[in-house]
Amino acid sequence: MDTRNALLDAAESAARRGGHDGFSYKDLSAAVGIRTASIHYHFPTKPDLLQAVMQRYHLAMQQALEALTLASTTAGQQLAGIIDLYRQALDQGNTYCLCVALSLGSARLPESIVAQLDAFRAMVHDWLSSVFARGREDGSLRAVSEPALEADACLALLEGAQLAARSSGGATGAVIEGGTVIEGGAVTRADARFLRAVTLLSRRIVEHGYANTET
């Protein structure tokens, strides 16, 4: 791996754990094994670095959502997929989605990065809006009203569920079945807390939709 991508990987990991203030160039120097002067060669300032990290993260999320759309035969499958993407982003309670992590310190962020966060949310919101519109048509989502408003609420719920879940942390013996936490399984406490938080959203998914519903 080249030095630039190694720095982006290390910075993304650190930012998702601790936000904008959760790491320094000295930390990155130790993680990647190069001098801080070499980091400044690639990224003169921390905002330069975070802009590059956020740009890459935006593209990765966009590609993940496009892949999810192609792999899903119903809107319900798409919604289940993005719920799982946000759960996976927790990394068992160790990290947040990068957008959530940076937003926690947004008052100290340069306007350029705040604009990137807004653009990221707009991209996810537009995708969710199309999912709810599709769900209203194919019957794979229950009680869809205004797709754009549904997308607003869904994104807020997914981000809020991450915040609630990360505070739980640690391992537990719980699994989730039908939105209920069942003891004796093997997911983390953070996963269990996240899935509880999105239970009502998950319950709106109809397994097959109209196309496969017997009449």
CA dist list (Å): 204 to 143, 180, 199: 8, 15, 9
**CA 1 to mean position of chain CA atoms:** 25
Residue 29 has what pLDDT? 97
Q: Domain extents for the chain?
A: 46-207
* Rounded to 5°, angle at Cα 111 from 108 and 114: 80
What would the pLDDT profile of 85-123 be if each residue is shown by its tens digit? Answer: 999 999 988 999 999 999 998 778 999 999 999 999 999
Crossing angle of helices 75-88/111-138, nearest 10°?
150
Max distance between CA atoms of the chain, in angstroms, equals 69
pTM (2 decimals)? 0.88
User: What is the layout of strands, in order, in the sheet containing 180-183?
Assistant: 180-183, 171-177, 187-188
The C-alpha atoms of residue 131 and residue 147 are separated, in whole angstroms, by: 8
Q: For the residues 117-138, what does the mean pLDDT come to?
A: 98
Q: For the residues 15-29, what does the mean pLDDT come to?
A: 95
Q: Does domain 46-207 have CATH number 1.10.357.10?
A: yes
**CA 207 to mean position of chain CA atoms:** 23
How far is the first Cα of the chain from the last one, in angstroms, to the nearest whole number?
56
Q: Could you tell me what percent of the chain has a pLDDT over 70? A: 87
- Retrieve residue 52's tokens: 């590059």
pLDDT greater at residue 154 or residue 1: 154
